[in-house]
Structure 1
Amino acid sequence: MDLQLAGLRCLITGSSSGIGEGIAHTLAAEGASVIVHGRDQQRTAAVAAAIGGRGQPVLAVTGDLVDPDGCAEVARRCNEMLGGVDVLINNAGGKTSSHKQDGVARPANAAWLETPWDEWRWTYDQNVGAAVRLIQAFAPGMVERGFGRIINVASASATQPPPDLADYAPAKAAMVNMTVGLAKTLGGSGVTVNAITPGTILTPAVQSTFTGWARQLGWDDTSWDEIERRFTSEVLPQPIRQFGRPDDIGRMAALLASPLSSYMTGSNYRVDGGFCQSIN
């Protein structure tokens, strides 16, 4: 099926690695004009160069989206390079990584009652704030042209929060909530707004984290394939006995970015191997 992405101008934030890089590869392969974004200029340029050569431009832009001036500069550069953005994918995010191991056999997070407000504020700004700034920068142009796609990358923790992920889960829940509200605000404009909820997606960072966790659990001589199978069947059980791959998120993003998805808005689409237990 032709998703009719050829020539669409797409900005994927946080796409110099991980899930964002997978999305950028997929959209470029479908013929879209892609802007790869990151904070490290050399790495971002290298990813854009690796994706390039498929008929449409693959460009690079760097900037800190938490900083209002940095965000404005990213928007200005995107408009300068491509004359606007048709598809905005808010993938950049994350949480503070300053927490120390606490001796518990799981990836460490600060205890809920011990997570300082500064970390709440930083994580909210890193996820929600960055997305809002770019939406406000690009959505008016989409409305004026009568077409646009805004895709917010959330997390399974938004709707199924674990313990002691105090700052991150509410920030991702806010992204799902604002997706629905914005979709209603932009109703009838030709601009759709949706969220994607990834499950655990296998990136180098994720593999390193789960390999370390497996050692804490005493799985010292276990191959990666066995680690993946055991986590998805014993520790974090889900119907599909493996973690997702960045391409899995890329394919969902390509569908939601497509003109063919014009009847899909205000929704949260899970790509999580069946991990989330609730219906919606």
Structure 2
Amino acid sequence: MDMRLKGRVAVVTGASKGIGLAVTHALLAEGAKVVAASRTAGPELSALARPDLVHEGVDLMDPEAPARTVARAVQEFGGLDILVNNAGGRPPGVDLPRGSFFDASDDEWRAMFEFNLFSAVRAARAAIPHMLSRGGGSIVNVSSANARQPSQMNVDYGAAKAAMSNLTKALSEEFGPQGIRVNTVSPGPVLTPWWTEPGGAADRIAGLTGADRAAVLDKIVPESMGLTTGRLAGPEEIADVVVLLASPRSASTTGAEFTVDSGFVKAV
């Protein structure tokens, strides 16, 4: 299926690995031009190098970084059609998972909201005027199934992602009549470096349970989270939904949430 994205200009945050890398790869494959924002490019993003890909080295904890990234897209490619607010998860210097509400300080709560909510707010604020000047666009916010499935683990993260889902709906209502569609993709557990890198969530859970990393990823996490499919999703499975929402083929879809969570959320 042609996603009708050839020549469209996209900004993807958190693009050097995991879901963001998969989204960047998928958009490029559809002929889009991409500004990939992350602190460092990393080997996998660097391997995608081509004229239609620009890396913007930014720390999205910096309040000025989202606007600089959008400005880079306009400078390099003449405008902006798509914004994928993917950056999120563990802020720099914060360790996850946590087991209790009491495990996060005020500073850690602030850092979590800076990274997972305010970076998206600032990116949207910078992007929307450029989209309006081109007659519309698409914003896809990557939230989390934890926005809808509260848990004692990582309470601050779930709260920030719930706010992201609310932001999506509000933006869709205000700017939908002007041609800007805003939607949410809410992944469950995904096989990204957040889980798999040394010292990541799999290693931390292994330390708590006495199991090895493979058992954590293949058995303990799917069973403890009640994943209907019995496995964590792959980043490409999330990226496919993001690209569909970015595409004009989703022209009547706005203010919607798409949960891609291996069956984690059970509520209707």
Separation in 2 of the partners of 1:170 and 1:89? 20
Amino acid in the other structure paired with 1:217: T
Runs of 4+ more than 3 Å apart: 46-49, 95-100, 226-229
Residues 182-208 of structure 1: CA deviation (Å, up to 9, x unaligned): 100012211100010011110234124
| Contact 1:99–1:109 (8 Å) recurs in 2 | no
**Could you say which residue in structure 2 is the equivalent of 1:84?**
79
Residues 151-178 of structure 1: CA deviation (Å, up to 9, x unaligned): 1000111110210423211110000001
Amino acid in the other structure paired with 1:2: D
| Contact 1:232–1:240 (8 Å) recurs in 2 | no
2:244 pairs with 1:277: no
Separation in 2 of the partners of 1:183 and 1:84? 21
**Could you say which residue in structure 2 is the equivalent of 1:156?**
145
2:11 pairs with 1:19: no
2:219 pairs with 1:219: no
Evaluate the alpha carbon distance shift between residue 267 and residue 50 of structure 1 in structure 2; reply closer, same or farther with a 3 A threshold.
Answer: same
Higher Rg: 1
Separation in 2 of the partners of 1:171 and 1:240? 27
TM-score (norm 2): 0.90
Select 2:254's aligned residue among 265, 270, 274.
265
Separation in 2 of the partners of 1:228 and 1:261? 34
Q: Could you tell me which runs of 5 or more consecutive residues in structure 1 were left unpaired when the two chains were aligned.
A: 101-106
**Secondary structure of the structure 2 residue equivalent to 1:187:** helix
**Secondary structure of the structure 1 residue equivalent to 2:249:** helix
Select 1:73's aligned residue among 68, 72, 77.
68
| Contact 1:84–1:138 (8 Å) recurs in 2 | no
**Could you say which residue in structure 1 is the equivalent of 2:132?**
143
Displacement, 1:64? 2.0
- Once the two structures are overlaid, the 10-residue window that deviates more, 199-208 or 85-94, is 199-208
Mapping of 1:22-41 within 5 angstroms? Answer: 22-40=22-40
**Could you say which residue in structure 2 is the equivalent of 1:187?**
176
Evaluate the alpha carbon distance shift between residue 204 and residue 120 of structure 1 in structure 2; reply closer, same or farther with a 3 A threshold.
Answer: closer
| Contact 1:197–1:269 (8 Å) recurs in 2 | yes
Select 1:199's aligned residue among 178, 184, 188.
188
**Could you say which residue in structure 2 is the equivalent of 1:103?**
none
Select 2:229's aligned residue among 228, 240, 258.
240
TM-score (norm 1): 0.87
* Paired residues, number: 265
Identity of aligned residues (%): 35
Amino acid in the other structure paired with 1:60: H
**Secondary structure of the structure 2 residue equivalent to 1:36:** strand
Amino acid in the other structure paired with 1:80: Q
| Contact 2:139–2:183 (8 Å) recurs in 1 | yes
Separation in 2 of the partners of 1:211 and 1:166? 20
Displacement, 1:63? 1.2
Evaluate the alpha carbon distance shift between residue 82 and residue 99 of structure 1 in structure 2; reply closer, same or farther with a 3 A threshold.
Answer: closer
**Could you say which residue in structure 1 is the equivalent of 2:243?**
254
Amino acid in the other structure paired with 1:16: S
**Secondary structure of the structure 2 residue equivalent to 1:276:** coil
| Contact 1:36–1:47 (8 Å) recurs in 2 | no
Evaluate the alpha carbon distance shift between residue 108 and residue 190 of structure 1 in structure 2; reply closer, same or farther with a 3 A threshold.
Answer: closer
2:48 pairs with 1:51: yes
| Contact 2:5–2:247 (8 Å) recurs in 1 | yes
Displacement, 1:213? 2.3
| Contact 2:222–2:232 (8 Å) recurs in 1 | no
